[in-house]
């Protein structure tokens, strides 16, 4: 086999209102894994020049099974979801306050408290 599983099709939509074929799993040490270019979540648009649009799942599986030794896939890379809080800008910067905006005032407050404590102890 090609070393990966697929989901989707007109009869088994993986994503609502989308009958495309997607890579659901790449089998470790399989052909796709060893090649390294295909990723889980990729949408497969065509195999060996044959468009996969509007196919039933079993018909897509049959195309993959009969693809032969040399296989050419046309894929659309899935956009990776951003980790972080909702509203993340996705421009490389995390949302919320920078760490320095919390640490600097906190350190200043701690230093002031130590200074006051030392001054207070001297008076006693």
114 pLDDT above the threshold of 50: yes
SS3 18: strand
List the domains of the chain with CATH numbers. 4-76 (2.30.42.10)
Return the higher-pLDDT residue of 116 and 105: 116
Alpha helices by DSSP H, 2-97 = 31-35, 57-65
pTM score, whole prediction: 0.63
Tell me the CA distances in angstroms from 103 to 51, 61, 88, 99, 100, one per residue in order: 56, 56, 22, 6, 5
Burial of 22 (C-beta count, 10 Å sphere; 0-12/13-18/19+): buried
Q: For residue 75, how many C-alpha atoms fall within 13 Å in the half-sphere facing its CB? A: 16
**The pLDDT value given to residue 85:** 53
pLDDT in tens, 33-89: 999 999 999 999 999 999 999 999 999 999 999 998 889 999 999 766 555 555 444
């Amino acid at each position: 086999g090609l070393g990966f599983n697929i989901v989707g099709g007109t009869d088994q939509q993986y994503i609502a209102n989308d009958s495309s074929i997607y890579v659901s799993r790449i089998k470790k040490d399989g052909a796709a894994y060893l090649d390294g270019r295909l990723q889980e979540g990729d949408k497969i648009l065509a195999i060996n020049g044959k468009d996969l649009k509007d196919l039933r799942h079993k018909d897509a599986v049959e195309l993959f099974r009969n693809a032969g030794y040399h296989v050419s896939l046309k894929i659309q890379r899935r956009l990776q979801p951003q980790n972080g809080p909702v509203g993340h800008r996705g421009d490389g910067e995390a949302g919320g306050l920078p760490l320095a905006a919390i640490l600097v005032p906190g350190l200043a407050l701690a230093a002031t408290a130590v200074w006051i404590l030392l001054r207070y102890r001297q008076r006693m």
